[in-house]
Amino acid sequence: MKDKLMDAMQRFSKAMFIPVLILPIAGILIAVGNLFTNTRLQAVMPFLDNPFTSGFGSLLSGSLTAILTNLGIIFCVGLAVGLADKKKSEAGFISLLAFLVFINAMNRFMGIRGMLVEGSLSGTGQAMVLGVQVLDMGVFLGLMLGVVVAFVHNRFCETEFNNAFQIYGGTRFVFIVLIPVMVIMAVILTFVWPFVQSGINALGSFIQKSGNFGLFIYGTLERLLIPTGLHHLVYTPFLYTSLGGTATVGGQLLEGARNIYYAEIADEAVRLLSPSVIWDARGISKMFGLLGACLAMYHTARKENKDKIKAVLVTAAVTSFVAGVTEPIEFSFLFVAPVLFAVHAVLAGSSFVALNLIGCRAIGPNGFIDFLLYNVPLGFAKTRWPLFIVVGLVYFALYYVIFRFLIVKFNLKTLGRESEGMEMKLHSKAEYKERAAGNTSAGSKTSDEKVDAALIVGALGGKENILKVTNCYTRLRTELENTDLVDEDILKGQTGAAAVIKKGKNVQVVYGLKVTAVRKAVDQELGVTDQE
């Protein structure tokens, strides 16, 4: 039961990446659009004060804001596609139809019961979704419907009929089944959701009232869950639901730290961003803290190993600082020195508290590029972004001092402190070919300049052992028949993996930003098509 629960959570977790990873792109472009319409910036740079640039900025930010106001349908379609085992494109199309059926069924039933509020919907618990007035379920509606659609799709997408009913088989039958399911769900949730919303609001209020303690627990858990791949299940509700706070911006009631942030950066009347934005302040540990950790590992490495790990640590540190991808660094010490990972999680949690205490509302969830685009154009008044850098430098020093002390005091086997078996050791082409000749079957054509899908598949136990392959932002996620056949040494030593994580039949191989190319090559090696 434990393995099944973990498997379900991991599937849900990786499916969430489809909608979640799209939203920062929209946010960045909204920030760029606001640059061209910002009157303070136009005063400093008069050439921006013209109809062309102002119109372009207004068009860019205005068109993308629609994504933030329709998160329900975005998460519904994204989850349905991510959780579908087969025929993913059709699952996405069916989820859109199901969403439309649901909101209209709820609207009609609320009308029958006389529940529809007239006039302003602010504070009534109701909202307009795609022009239809329903209960305000926010992103939770998309989460629920996406899961239900995926479940029904996986159960019935291959159902076929004979004779005259043959046309109603396959995904068309999925839609037929979903119609009554959506109507029944709409009726039930009309009664149930007001109580659920009250509970969510109470939980959000409790966390908000817990102040700095709540921030600390939130930030610490967000890092501690990295090894399971479930960490974004912690922050997503705070970024896109009322758990992350509510605020009225420009007369519109918004929920979630990220949504509030996007709206407030566009509203020049807001002088300081809402306290809820602090839930999205994950950049301190990513941009500064782990750089200190890398420097500590380099300085404590054996003299003969420093040159070997320098390139690895520099690459990992730059990736973390610029793009916010931390796993290559974290997995370099997670398994060999877990106490460092615990310290890292605690420091990350405390950084949220530090920013809150000084009233800094700057964010850098995806590294320095995001930090610049999101915060600098707004000026000091709104975000107090220079304080973010000051706090970051303090945490750089803290990470360095604490990591170096613990590594030396307890003789922790971090990178470069063992002469053999370093997880992130770089290999020359000669070393690679020599190892491949001794550990893989003849006929491998791969060099270190491209992905060796055959080597990866072989290290995972062969084609017959691989049941499913997906990926998230940094990890190749697989479901295997027999995990004992996995050769971790080949995966980490010859294919560039930073770590290998086993959970039941699920094996996650951490490749960092190149994981998309790895997934594509592995799919080709397995003969998997997009439809599968």
Catalytic sites, residue numbers: 472
In whole angstroms, give the CA distance from residue 294 to residue 24: 27
DSSP three-state, residue 424: coil
Contact between 358 and 312 under an 8 Å Cβ cutoff? The reply is no
Provide CB contacts within 8 A for 414, sequence distance 6+.
297, 300, 301, 332, 333, 336, 337, 340, 407
DSSP three-state, residue 129: strand
In whole angstroms, give the CA distance from residue 350 to residue 348: 5
Residue type, 292: G
In a 10 Å sphere around its CB, with 0-12 CB exposed, 13-18 middle and 19+ buried, how is residue 448 labelled? middle
CB atoms within 10 A of CB 271: 10
- By residue count, the chain amounts to 532
DSSP three-state, residue 466: strand
DSSP three-state, residue 502: strand
Phi, psi of 129 (to 5 degrees): -120, 115
Residue type, 376: V
DSSP three-state, residue 50: coil
**Tokens representing residue 489 in the block:** 């040494």
Phi, psi of 510 (to 5 degrees): -85, 115
Kindly write down the DSSP assignment for every residue of 114-127, as one continuous string.
T-PPPS--TTTTEE
CA end-to-end distance (rounded Å), the chain: 27
**Tokens representing residue 42 in the block:** 């136009």
In a 10 Å sphere around its CB, with 0-12 CB exposed, 13-18 middle and 19+ buried, how is residue 307 labelled? exposed
Provide CB contacts within 8 A for 94, sequence distance 6+.
80, 149, 153, 171, 174, 175, 178
Torsion of CA 430, 436, 442, 448, to 10 degrees: -60
In a 10 Å sphere around its CB, with 0-12 CB exposed, 13-18 middle and 19+ buried, how is residue 419 labelled? exposed
Provide CB contacts within 8 A for 504, sequence distance 6+.
3, 6, 7, 483
Provide the CB-side half-sphere exposure for 296 (13 A, CA). Answer: 28
DSSP 301: S
Phi, psi of 294 (to 5 degrees): -65, -40
